[in-house]
A and B are shown apart, each in its own frame.
Chain A
Amino acid sequence: MKIIVAIKQVPERDAALTIGPDGKWINESDLTYTTNEPDAYALEEALQLKEKNGGEVIALCAGPERAASTLHEALAKGADRAIHILADDLVQRDTLALAQLIADAIRPEFPDLILIGIQSDDLGLGQTGVVLAERLGIPHATIITRGEMTPIGLRVKRELEDGWFQNVDMPLPALLAIHSGGNKLRYATLMSIKKAKSKETRTVETATSTVRANLTLERVYLPKKQKRTEMLKGTPAEIAAQLVEKLKFELRVL
């Protein structure tokens, strides 16, 4: 079984984010980067499926030169080889264009399974996987915590609203968007870090995007922090009624 895991490199979660001078993106120069957390779980799921069923795990990442470190980490954890889609202008590309880049890089591999994190910690759109499956013409399932092989393909556990779960059988090839927390993440051993250096990485060059994006980012901004104190007046019963009203219709927490 050939499994491709699509991984994104994102800013560290505790990074201090500042808005760039053009107001359209964050300052990237002083950031440290890491593997997107749900993608780390997708990699773990892929490695476990390989350990149970045999096969090959390929780590794929689209990004500039620095993304190589994320691929190296995936190789050190046990991926067999890597594909690096070299692109400096991902922020300018919308989901359709990104999914197209990934689809083009994946197609010659004919994988049985593609795993991807449910969403990225930076943009958080959660759409790349679904659009990628659509572009490849294969079925997909999202918010998956676990998958296991069956005689006809794959059985996956999907999370639904309000704490419900669903088991879905699907044929292969397929794409699964993996949710964090389904497995325990492994650490790379010293030996496997050394071994990763000799593993193959295929680099896919990309031309500068010429397609006009369907979606253009006009402005990014931090939410305005505001504290407001409001005194509720009346008898205790009136105050309680007002409070319920506010919690229900203004704050919508009830």
Chain B
Amino acid sequence: MTGVLVAVDQWLAGLSRISLETLAAGQQLAKARGVECSAVVLGEGITTLANGLSGKNLAKVFVVEHPLLKNYTADGYVHVLEQVVRQTAPAYVLFPHTYQVRDFAPALAARFEQVLVSDVIAIQDGPFL
């Protein structure tokens, strides 16, 4: 389990502004931990969005495309992201704090017997880092 994975949010055919902030936070955390930072984006017909991520200095960009991901559903997002997280095994998964993330991320964390830490405004070194 290494690395930082940032799950970015699509909003009206683009990356939400808070997604960019989350990418920056992910890159800072990865740098501090000496690990790689990658990103994942879900949807359908999101090539442009995915290409936009390629210039963001990320180790990898995972793109999951499926017709059932065209419209957001909590069930679909949890199902897909659970598989992505299991396969990529990051130590940290970061999300932008949006209404959509608040709708599914607590359930995703529960699948890993973890608690989502929400409303994060800063990350500091602690006993577990």
Contact = CB atoms under 8 A, between A and B. Distances in A.
Interface of A: 94-96, 99, 124-127, 130-131, 133-135, 139-143, 159-161, 213-215, 218
Given A99-B110, A142-B103, A161-B99, A127 B74 contact: no
B107 A130 contact: yes
Interface string B80-106: 000000000000000000111011111
A134 B109 CA distance: 10
B8 to A, nearest CB: 14
Nearest to B75: A139
A119 to B, nearest CB: 9
Interface in B96-125: 98-100, 102-107, 109-111, 113-119
A168 to B, nearest CB: 8
Interface of B: 11, 16, 74-75, 78, 98-100, 102-107, 109-111, 113-119, 126
A134 B11 contact: no
Q: Give the dominant DSSP class at B's interface.
A: helix
A130 B11 CA distance: 22
Contacts of A127: 102, 106, 115-116, 118
Contacts of A161: 11, 16, 98-100
A215 B75 CA distance: 25
Contacts of B107: 130-131, 133-134, 140
By Cβ-Cβ distance, the 6 closest A-B pairs, closest first, are A127-B106, A134-B107, A130-B106, A134-B110, A215-B115, A214-B115
Nearest to B78: A134
15 contacts: A95-B115, A127-B115, A127-B116, A130-B102, A130-B105, A134-B110, A139-B74, A141-B74, A142-B102, A142-B103, A143-B99, A160-B100, A161-B11, A161-B100, A213-B115
A215 B74 contact: no
A21 B14 CA distance: 48
Contact of A130 (B16, B103, B126): B103
A143 B103 contact: yes
Contacts of A141: 74, 103
A212 B48 CA distance: 44
Contacts of A142: 99, 102-103
Nearest to B18: A161
Contacts of A215: 115, 117
B110 A131 contact: yes
Given A134-B107, A140-B74, A126 B115 contact: no
A158 to B, nearest CB: 8
A130 B100 CA distance: 12
Nearest to A139: B75
A125 B118 CA distance: 7
A133 B105 CA distance: 12
